[in-house]
Amino acid sequence: MPTTTVFEALGGAEGVLRLAHAWHEQVMADEIVAHAFSHGFHPQHTERLAAYWGEAWGGPPTYSEQYGSESSVVRMHSGNGRHEEMDRHAIECFDRAMDDVGLSDPLLRRVLHDYFAWATTTTMSAYPDSADDVPEDLQIPHWSWDGLQV
């Protein structure tokens, strides 16, 4: 296993922000996933997303310190019913975003793909009926080369 964090291997905050921008471009071009953004989104969506991913991948706790908690993130993704097709498209958009930023390292690609697929189909999909079901004390999951850190 590499001695760097996933965050460092991606190029730190700058690399994570590039990937977040690329993913956002991909989802806005995808008619299925773009529907999730049809009601609008925060003007700093990609910066906040990059801070969240960076924290999850071993970077600084920027998201927790400046923007919110895991509970607030999960709430944003809750109460919209089940959406497996949208989830599949979002994961495909993530894989294409890795292409867009020129990410060629197969191990890093696999780790990032596995994280995104896991987060999309578990934590972000855990409360389809109501955002009110989300507990107050959720912590941002941390992901390393070995997967979820518990």
Q: Hey, what's the torsion of the CAs at 25, 30, 35, 37, to 10 degrees?
A: 0
The two tokens of residue 46 are 């990609």
Each residue's pLDDT tens digit, 41-85: 767 889 999 999 999 999 999 999 999 999 998 888 776 768 788
Q: Look up the pTM and report it.
A: 0.90
* pLDDT, averaged across the chain: 91
Going along the chain from its start, the domains and CATH numbers come out as 19-149 (1.10.490.10)
CA distance 101 to 105: 12
As separate numbers, helices (DSSP H) first and strands (DSSP E) second, the chain gives: 7, 2
Measure the CA angle with vertex 101, ends 95 and 103; round to 5°. Answer: 70
**What is the rounded (10 degree) CA torsion for 77, 79, 80, 83?**
70
Residue type, 51: A
